[in-house]
Amino acid sequence: MTTDEEPSYYGAVETYFVERRGSPLFITPAEWALVAKWEEQGIPVHVVMEGIERVFERPRAAAKPRKLGYCRQTVEAAFRRFREVSFGGRDEGASLGGPAEDRVDATAHLSRLAAELTDLAPELATQVARLGASGTSLQAIEDGLTEIDEQLIDAAEDAMDAAECESLRTEAARSLAAYRDRMPEKVYRSALKSAYRRRLRVRAKLPRLSLFDR
């Protein structure tokens, strides 16, 4: 869960990179855009850190990266590995139509998610349960869960008191105050929306709909 005392996704990535680089300089506006892209892709912050660490662990003969962009390929490769492991070592294009032992994990996970949603949002629970149809690829299931997750958050916001929503927006803005003047406007708006929705998820006690733990 994210609270005001915990660093934001953006703050955590910047702090980790700056510390590993050994320079007090902050990351640039262009680098903030890269962090925003990683967050939009759903790359967990611990996977971003793993990718950054791999870059700095390369032979000492290599120059230390000065820009976060040097870590882009390594971070995104780490995310691909993370997803493969989360999908049970199978290709994301694999379907649930294979042997039972190959599909049981994803099917059981979908059943658990549907059960968690039964009281919160029965219609969305039904949609989740239907995602496990034979022949559906793991990637298609993940994409479907992402869409349903968006609907779940929107429904929770509609059901919440306006004053409470405004309070969460204020908390979100406060969490990004230290970065406001250094972020491009587009990135700041994206970060603000993300920070608000994370808080809304926590307040409404919503499960995260995904095949893997982000």
Residue 64 reports pLDDT greater than 60? yes
Name the residue ranges covered by the structural domains of the chain: 9-204
Is the Cβ–Cβ distance between 71 and 52 less than 8 Å? yes
pLDDT of 77 above 60: yes
pLDDT digits (tens, 9 = 90+) for 88-136: 655 555 555 554 444 447 888 899 999 999 999 999 999 999 997 766 7
Average pLDDT estimate for 6-34: 88
The torsion angle over the Cα atoms of residues 7, 10, 12 and 16, rounded to 10 degrees, is -160
